[in-house]
A and B are shown apart, each in its own frame.
Chain A
Amino acid sequence: MIKITEHPLNPEDVTSTVFSNEAGAVNVFIGTVRGTTKNKKVVKLEFETYLNMAIKEIEKIIEAARHKWPIQHMIIHHRVGTLTVGEIAVVIAVSSGHRKEAFAACQYAIDTLKETVPIWKKEVFEDGEEWVSAHP
């Protein structure tokens, strides 16, 4: 259900896991490493995590999504370590009876993950580096 790993993520594996005969919709969000930030060329991203707490916080997201919407399954996989441009950082897959709930739950999951889950990324540029969102 939850995986935080240094290995590359496979969206097909994550997606196929949420399929069920009761589901009429499967929604997948894939977050990828963008090549530019504020017109600066990104060389790579370095992700780190506070693993035990991150898993706990992701569990809370899945639990809350289940309370808010009648979803069948939700899977969240996040990559950590060094990622290059175009690589997949996160995959969230949700299944539900109808599409509306799957879309809503998926959006909720990624939005909340970005606010609460202790994972940090540092953008490495050609001429420096910066922890994302650290400063106002």
Chain B
Amino acid sequence: MEVEILAFGITRDIVGGSTFKIFLEREATVSALKELLYQKYPKMKQLRSLMIAVDNEYVDEGLELKGQEEIALIPPVSGG
């Protein structure tokens, strides 16, 4: 399944845009998504952390993605 992903901060610079598409196995886990991202964009592996948000909430690596969610990359935050 093809999913659209939102990218913020340094991940936006790494992928070269605020959204991008990636092809995932059906019901791929968040962990599988991250592995794929690390392969495709090795610079993401150098980040202090990379969290995934699904429908505006931080999620665990084991969550299965259905393809209809709003998926976002959350590199280390630095507000304040």
Residues of A within 8 A of B (CB): 31, 47-50, 52-54, 56, 78, 89-90, 110, 113-122, 131-136
Main SS at interface, chain A? mixed
Residues of B within 8 A of A (CB): 6, 8-10, 13, 46-48, 53, 56-58, 72, 74-80
A56 CA to B6 CA, complexed, in Å: 17
Q: Which residues of A are found within 8 Å of B8, using beta-carbon distances?
A: 48-50, 118, 120
Which residue of B6, B13, B48 is within 8 Å of A136 (Cβ)? B48
Which residue of B46, B47, B48, B53 is within 8 Å of A50 (Cβ)? B53
Asked whether A134 and B53 contact (CB < 8 A) given A113-B79, A113-B80, A121-B78, the answer is no
A34 CA to B78 CA, complexed, in Å: 14
Q: Which residues of A are found within 8 Å of B77, using beta-carbon distances?
A: 114-120, 133
Q: Across chains A and B, which 6 residue pairs bring their CB atoms closest together, nearest first?
A: A119-B79, A120-B9, A132-B78, A53-B56, A131-B10, A134-B10
Q: Which residues of A are found within 8 Å of B46, using beta-carbon distances?
A: 135
Q: Which residues of A are found within 8 Å of B79, using beta-carbon distances?
A: 47, 49, 54, 78, 89-90, 113-114, 117-121
